[in-house]
Amino acid sequence: MTPLHQVILKKNTNINPIWIMRQAGRYLPEFREIRKENPDFIKLCLNEKLSSEITLQPIKRFNLDAAIIFSDILMLPYGLNQKVEFKKNFGPVLEELQLNEILKISEEKFIKKIDPVYKSIRSVSSNSLVKNKDTIGFVGAPWTLLVYMINLQSPKKGLKENFFKDDNLIKSALKVIDKFLKIHIKNQIQNGASVIQIFDSWAGLLEEKDYQSYIYEPTTSIINFVKSLKIPVICFPRQIKNYQKFCEIVKPDVVNIDYDVDPLTISKTIKIPVQGGLDPKILLSNKETLEKEAIKYLDIFKDHPYIFNLGHGILPETKPEMLEHLVKIVKNY
């Protein structure tokens, strides 16, 4: 049984597996080399040879316990023929959502369009470098995907004014998202993903009164589906106001916490295994600070099933040797 599975399924507190969100990516010089030659981000995600290679880059360098597939949550709208483009220094831009067009898309067409993602998972999961490690597949949560598909760009400055005005569009879009998320997850698992992580990157945008409609119900549907396939599921409802209530209602196998919450409160109020929490900016400091902060989390969760990770993705300006140092701290704890 892999270290992650021991913590998730056996609730083992004697080990602290470690993997890092966005571990395959921009802070690694070998990734930047590939990226220079491949400016189109979507095409790079759909290049099964290169995406497999990128996924394995951090596994070659660091003693991590899982590989997470190099892909993107926006593969879902892309697979549904909603044009997605990544603009330099801006982020993703999507074209207007054509609901009538999306409703016509068949399962076969969707799978065919993003099939390289599944081939890449198959290639990674069968690689000897990931022996006794997990291959993590992932998706965006329904709410976060809805945000991108209707807002048409990252809502860093908030949602556009009339976001909620078309109730019919929102309800229909959520139905489509639910259907194709399940197809996308099933194909990742069939090709070797042994854990699924659900990223609800924009959970923090909602008022608590809207959680039921946009977070609890749609996410529970996805969680139950993953569980029916007998695969552990990790949820990251970033910046949600109440992690405890989220866990009690949605019931993921593991919850990833962000760096704005008090880990001590989490350790006392949340019964399921916990992942993450460390502020990615700590990796930009020095080794002493990193050690102090990492050990703080390890101490707090020493009697709680815990997977070491960050409270958000690793920052592009992180030096690889700082991540190497972090892995050693966790492994020697």
- What three-state secondary structure class fits 236? strand
Helical ranges in the chain per DSSP H: 3-10, 29-37, 41-45, 48-61, 75-79, 99-102, 107-125, 142-151, 167-190, 211, 217-228, 243-250, 263-269, 287-300, 320-332
d(C-alpha 306, C-alpha 7), whole Å: 7
**In 3D, which of 268, 276, 324 has the Cα closest to residue 297?**
276
With residues binned 3-state (H G I as helix, E B as strand, rest as coil), the percentages for the chain, rounded to 5, are: 50, 15, 35
Strand order in the sheet with 306-307: 66-68, 134-140, 195-200, 233-237, 254-257, 274-276, 306-307
d(C-alpha 171, C-alpha 157), whole Å: 24
Query: Position 303: which residue type?
Result: D
Half-sphere exposure of 253 toward its Cβ, with a 13 Å CA cutoff?
25
Which structural domain, as residue segments, surrounds residue 235?
3-332
Q: Within a 10 A sphere around the Cβ of 36, how many other Cβ atoms?
A: 8
Half-sphere exposure of 19 toward its Cβ, with a 13 Å CA cutoff?
25
Kindly report the length of the chain: 333
User: Mind listing the pLDDT tens digit for each residue in 191-231?
Assistant: 999 999 999 999 999 999 999 999 999 999 999 999 999 99
**In 3D, which of 225, 276, 235, 271 has the Cα closest to residue 255?**
235
Domain count of the chain? 1
Q: Which residues of the chain have pLDDT under 50?
A: none
The per-residue pLDDT for 160 is 87
Cβ pair 183, 196 in contact under 8 A: no
Give the CATH number of the domain where residue 210 resides.
3.20.20.210
User: For 119, phi and psi rounded to 5 degrees?
Assistant: -65, -40
**In 3D, which of 140, 137, 39, 146 has the Cα closest to residue 82?**
146
Q: Which residues pair with 308 in a beta bridge?
A: 18
Quote the tokens at residue 174.
Answer: 């959520």
The per-residue pLDDT for 158 is 84
Task: Name the helix (H) or strand (E) containing 255.
Answer: strand 254-257
Q: What is the β-pairing status of strands 84-87 and 91-94?
A: antiparallel
N-term to C-term CA, the chain: 21
